[in-house]
């Protein structure tokens, strides 16, 4: 009957398809990001057969769930749903393309995200910052990596002799992050005598009701892996002492790439350093910052007093 959902007794439900989608081999950080979208979709529409998921239903779901969020959050959920429906089509579970009605939102570019090198130096030199935080911040800046990639690393992934750390990139590929002397001096103090377990640990052991997966626990200390949320909170709180609004962990990556671009590093090398998959997404980071533009403007000011 027109206007009614048609059941497909032999087909997969949305919940089944979502579980299969999340169960594929992918980086843990990617899975956690996808799960935020898919768990909510399954909670609201999981019992429906997948073939009943049409464009208007999906559009209404996304608008109700994330319509008031910022463009970056909206686009992340839209990208996940597009990936999910494309996966379902490849498996033959879905014939239509319901996610095609979802439109990305324009993300305004913030040219002020790069932190001045002098400000970062003041932050890194503070004596009231714990060794764990100081090491994490330096490592993120020196590697220009995503915070999730570094937080997902293990002690066994560390190669101090060659100043590098093996991680799983956003798409799931293994790669080396290369760091500098600042991190190399701090990392031995961070890991102590540990030979395994997560590189960055929580302050305390998890409560019995919140036991982490074995891969997220240190066999020596019993403590769990430091979360992105906790790391972001601590960085924001500490940076408020040198910045009126505080900074985000992502700004360390942004700043590193901006400073390297200002130093003349070419785009292919920056792409290898950052793990970006295309130049277009890299270019918004690899452009001179406000301080470099101001210095250039002053240097070419014809009315500037000559000495």
The domain segmentation of the chain, as residue ranges, is 14-101, 117-296
* Secondary structure (3-state) at 90: helix
Average pLDDT of the segment spanning 151-159: 95
| pLDDT attached to residue 108 | 67
| pLDDT attached to residue 243 | 83
| pLDDT attached to residue 212 | 61
What pLDDT band is residue 44 in, cutting at 50, 70 and 90? Answer: very high
| pLDDT attached to residue 28 | 77
Task: Give percent of the chain with pLDDT exceeding 70.
Answer: 89
What pLDDT band is residue 6 in, cutting at 50, 70 and 90? Answer: very low
Average pLDDT of the segment spanning 287-297: 68
* Torsion angle of the four alpha carbons 199, 36, 210, 232, in this order, in degrees rounded to the nearest 10: 50
Average pLDDT of the segment spanning 63-73: 90
| pLDDT attached to residue 2 | 42
pTM of the model: 0.64
Please give the CATH topology (third level) of the domain spanning 14-101.
DNA polymerase; domain 1 (1.10.150)
| pLDDT attached to residue 24 | 92
- Identify the residue with better confidence: 155 or 266: 155
Contact 27, 171 (CB under 8 A): yes
Residues ≥6 apart with Cβ < 8 Å to 101? 55, 56, 58, 59
The Cβ of residue 82 has, within 10 Å, a number of other Cβ atoms equal to: 16
Rounded to an integer, what distance in angstroms lies between the CA atom of residue 171 and that of residue 278? 13
- Identify the residue with better confidence: 96 or 164: 164
- Is the predicted pLDDT of residue 206 greater than 80, yes or no? no
The Cβ of residue 287 has, within 10 Å, a number of other Cβ atoms equal to: 16
- Is the predicted pLDDT of residue 112 greater than 70, yes or no? no
CATH number given to 117-296 = 1.10.443.10
What pLDDT band is residue 56 in, cutting at 50, 70 and 90? Answer: very high
- Is the predicted pLDDT of residue 3 greater than 60, yes or no? no
Count H helices, E strands: the chain? 13, 3
| pLDDT attached to residue 4 | 45
| pLDDT attached to residue 8 | 44
Say yes or no: do domains 14-101 and 117-296 share a fold.
no
| pLDDT attached to residue 1 | 39
């Amino acid at each position: 009957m027109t206007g009614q959902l048609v059941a497909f007794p032999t087909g997969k439900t949305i919940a089944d398809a979502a579980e299969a989608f999340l169960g594929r081999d992918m980086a843990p950080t990617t899975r956690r990001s996808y799960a935020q979208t898919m768990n909510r979709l399954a909670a609201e529409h999981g019992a429906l057969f997948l073939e009943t998921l049409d464009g208007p239903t999906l559009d209404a779901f996304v608008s109700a769930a994330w319509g008031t969020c910022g463009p970056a959050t909206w686009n992340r959920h839209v990208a996940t749903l597009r990936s999910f429906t494309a996966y379902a089509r490849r498996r033959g579970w879905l014939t239509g393309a319901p996610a095609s009605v979802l439109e990305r939102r324009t993300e305004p570019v913030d040219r002020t995200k790069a932190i001045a090198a002098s400000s970062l130096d003041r932050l890194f030199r503070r004596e009231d910052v714990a060794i764990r935080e100081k090491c994490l911040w330096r490592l993120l800046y020196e590697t220009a990596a995503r915070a999730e990639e570094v937080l997902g690393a293990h002690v066994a992934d560390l190669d101090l002799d060659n100043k590098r750390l093996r991680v799983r990139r956003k798409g799931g590929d293994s790669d080396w992050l290369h760091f500098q002397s600042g991190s190399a001096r701090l990392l031995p103090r961070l890991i102590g005598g540990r030979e395994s377990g997560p590189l960055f640990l929580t302050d305390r052991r998890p409560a019995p009701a919140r036991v982490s997966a074995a891969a997220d626990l240190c066999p020596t200390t019993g403590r769990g892996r430091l979360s992105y949320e906790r790391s972001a909170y601590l960085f924001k709180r500490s940076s408020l002492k040198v910045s009126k609004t505080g900074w985000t962990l992502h700004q360390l990556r942004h700043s590193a790439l901006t400073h390297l671009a200002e130093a003349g590093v070419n785009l292919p090398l920056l792409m290898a350093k950052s793990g970006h998959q295309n130049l277009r997404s890299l270019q918004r980071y690899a452009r001179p910052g406000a301080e470099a533009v101001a210095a250039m403007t002053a240097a070419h000011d014809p009315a500037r007093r000559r000495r």
